[in-house]
Amino acid sequence: MQRLGPYELIETLGSGAMGTVWRARHAELGAVRALKVLALRTPSRRERFRRETEHLARIHHPNVVTIHDAGLEATRGWFAMDLIEGRSLREALEAGPLPTQQALEVADGIAAGLEALHAAGVAHRDLKLENWLFDSLDLCENQKFTVRPCCIVDV
């Protein structure tokens, strides 16, 4: 099994321009997390990653995914987040329009999550429907978090 830091990479959950997200298990603790892996080929990108993960780790908000761990290895950076099992906002909308009240709650949750990120000096940089996740109750949880609309961070 492939490993990155203390995490065993189980399966790819998705990938995009910014990197790849894996389902991963902490080898010693057994915690299963979402592990975002980014290519950081330049010193400036590695420094930006270090600064932003430091800021992200301090954010505790119901609409922002919690960062549990982070690391740099050679030309890759990674951070471990809560794993949200559920569907994205895109998947929810493909099933049909949201009821008005739920749509307002989702919009409010997204705005609250972005406000928390911006207050911490972090820009999301990848706002798209796939990056807004709902837990199994169909309520958005920040990557991990509470029964409200939430956002996934992507540095």
Which positions are annotated as active-site residues? 126
Q: What is the DSSP string of the chain?
A: --EETTEEEEEEEEE-SS-EEEEEEETTT--EEEEEEEE--SHHHHHHHHHHHHHHHT---TTBPPEEEEEEETTEEEEEEPPP-SEEHHHHHHT-PPPHHHHHHHHHHHHHHHHHHHHTT-------GGGSEE-TTS-B-BTB-SSS--B----
Q: Which residues are CB-contacts of 147 (< 8 A; sequence separation ≥ 6)?
A: 135, 137, 139, 141
